[in-house]
Amino acid sequence: MEKNSKKPITFLSNSYTGLEKLGKGTYGSVYKAQKKNTNELIAIKKIKLDVDSEGIPSTALREISILKKMVHPNVVR
């Protein structure tokens, strides 16, 4: 996704417009997106899933567990 191009992020509903890719790592990519009905800016992480394995990667579960324990205005409860 090129910077400043407003292409829909295909892995989400049509409620969000992708603005740019913020980063990429071993376990996924983070995108800057905008919620269409409120223009709110958000970050969305797309987790890579291995086609050969079943279930959610343990690294993703670990990250979700840590984020659920955090209390911060920038982290979704």
Q: Dihedral sign, CA of 55, 59, 61, 63?
A: negative
Helix (H) or strand (E) holding 58: helix 58-69
Per-residue pLDDT at 23? 93
25-68 pLDDT, tens per residue? 888 889 898 888 898 888 888 888 776 677 788 888 888 899 88
Beta bridge partners of 21: 31
Residue type present at position 66:
I
What is the phi/psi pair of residue 38, to 5°? Answer: -120, -10
What is the phi/psi pair of residue 60, to 5°? Answer: -70, -45
| Domains defined along the chain, listed by start | 7-69 (3.30.200.20)
Q: How confident is the model at residue 2 (pLDDT cuts 50, 70, 90)?
A: very low
- For residue 7 the two structure tokens come to 């292409």
Q: How many CB atoms lie within 10 A of CB 9?
A: 19
